[in-house]
């Protein structure tokens, strides 16, 4: 089984993440996505579609503020 870290944020990446998660060839060991951002009038903090999907499947999520400045990334 190949271990994979998935990088993505918008909903266009959901099909790829779900495919990898459901595949017997891959194990998604983590997801890297943008930090939660305030949206709409109420400025409510909203998670990215990829983060919501990862949480649904109990995949660890990493949300660096700036990739270039984050040494762990």
Residue 73: the pLDDT is 59
Q: Say if residue 40's pLDDT is above 90.
A: no
Residue 53 vs residue 45, higher pLDDT: 53
The average pLDDT across 46-60 equals 92
Show the beta-strand stretches assigned E in the chain: 2-7, 26-32, 37-39, 44-46, 61-62
The answer to whether 30 touches 6, Cβ cutoff 8 Å, is: yes
Judge contact between 28 and 55, C-beta under 8 A: no
pLDDT score, position 28:
96
Average pLDDT (8-18) is 89
pTM (2 d.p.): 0.80
């Amino acid at each position: 089984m190949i271990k994979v870290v998935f990088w993505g944020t918008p909903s266009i990446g959901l099909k790829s993440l779900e495919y990898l998660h459901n595949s017997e060839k891959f194990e998604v060991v983590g997801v890297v996505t943008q930090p939660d951002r305030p949206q709409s009038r109420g400025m409510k903090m909203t998670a990215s579609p990829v983060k919501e999907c990862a949480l649904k499947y109990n995949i660890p999520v990493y949300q660096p503020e700036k990739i270039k400045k984050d040494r762990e990334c």
